[in-house]
Amino acid sequence: MSRIAYVNGAYQRHTEAAVHIEDRGFQLADGVYEVCEIRHGFIVDLTRHLDRLDRSLRELRMAWPMTRSALILVIREVVRRNRVRNGMFYLQVTRGAARRDHVFPAADTPSTIVVTAKRIDASAIAKKNAAGIRAITVPENRWDRVDIKSVGLLPNVLARQAAKEEGAQEAIFVDRDGTVKEGAATNVWIVDKEGRLRTRHAEYGILRGITRTTLKDVTAAIGLEIVEEAFSVEDMLEAREVFITAATSICFPVVAVNGKTIANGHPGSVSQKIREAFFDIAEKTAI
């Protein structure tokens, strides 16, 4: 079965699907995206992902490529056509194709919309969860508007690559004042020395992760309290647990940071409880 992608009004074979060479996403990273999990045949947290898409588009003064209800139909169709029951969909909206110029193109330039879906091997995720992952820290070098889910991800790309080259799976951005921001593609949490579940506030400086938001519902349901308070690299190294969250993986325990073992080097119980409860609590939209 060949994969199918939706591009600007047409369902195309994935291998042949393409956007214009002067697409502003390609030339200027002038676009936004969302990644959403599909689990057991349901789209997870679709409303929150589309609300964040709306916010990203508004912040960048970009138009929706179609109505929200039409986009939901397209997403479900792409997921169905690719027969994804466990995996993810990716969507990207750009300011369209126009002769290269930094200023916005004419107002009637249609935005570009791409939707793809792929399967993810659940056993690979389970394995990673059982073993835990390793992370490194890197200095924050991104722009101030990381609250917008923009496709301009070069610092994140370089950070993840640096992690890989050091035998780690995530890179964690650290601010000049020594506080932890977020991972290259994840939010970061700790259970601190006092046993408090902590994550940095999301007013600015990080992406307000949808998984992060849904974790508030999950923790409330299982009787855990979240403290939104910045923490330092030292706090993280001394923590009882460190874990990261993102759509498609929910949460992964971090068992070593910069080569230093966290607690006893094994995944902690809090992240496991959260992982177990997550799907029941999250919003589920049938494909």
Would you please indicate which residues are annotated as catalytic (active-site) residues?
Answer: 149
Strand order in the sheet with 31-39: 10-13, 4-7, 112-119, 87-94, 31-39, 42-44, 284-286
Binding residues with ligand PDD: total (CB under 6 A) = 14
State how far the Cα of 192 lies from the Cα of 202, in Å rounded to an integer.
19
State how far the Cα of 239 lies from the Cα of 263, in Å rounded to an integer.
7
Which has the closest alpha carbon to 246: 196, 286, 207? 207
Min separation Cβ 30 and ligand PDD, Å: 17
Q: Which residues are 13's β-sheet partners?
A: 4
**140-176 per-residue burial string, b: 16 or more CB within 10 A, e: under 16:** bebeeebbbbbebbebbeebbeebeeeebbbbbbbee
Q: Using CB under 6 A, which of 135, 163, 246, 256 touches ligand PDD?
A: 246
Cβ proximity to ligand PDD: between 96 and 209 the closer is: 209
Q: Is 271 in the site for ligand PDD (CB under 6 A)?
A: no
Only one of the segments 23-31, 59-67, 179-187, 251-259 lies at the binding site for ligand PDD (rule: CB under 6 A); that segment is: 179-187
Only one of the segments 197-205, 244-252, 260-268, 275-283 lies at the binding site for ligand PDD (rule: CB under 6 A); that segment is: 244-252
Min separation Cβ 141 and ligand PDD, Å: 13
Cβ proximity to ligand PDD: between 98 and 282 the closer is: 282
- The C-alpha angle 123, 264, 159, rounded to 5 degrees, equals 60
Cβ proximity to ligand PDD: between 101 and 121 the closer is: 121
Cβ proximity to ligand PDD: between 98 and 278 the closer is: 278
Question: In sequence order, which residues have a C-beta less than 8 Å from that of residue 55 and are 6 or more positions away?
Answer: 148
Q: Using CB under 6 A, which of 134, 212, 240, 275 touches ligand PDD?
A: 212
Q: Could you say which residues in the range 27-86 bind ligand PDD, by CB under 6 A?
A: 35
Residues in the chain: 287
Cβ proximity to ligand PDD: between 97 and 197 the closer is: 197
CB 160 within 8 A of CB 170: yes
Q: Could you say which residues in the range 182-211 bind ligand PDD, by CB under 6 A?
A: 182, 185-187, 207, 209-211
Helix ranges, 199-268 (H): 210-221, 233-237
Min separation Cβ 156 and ligand PDD, Å: 6
Binding site for ligand PDD (CB under 6 A): 35, 182, 185-187, 207, 209-212, 245-248
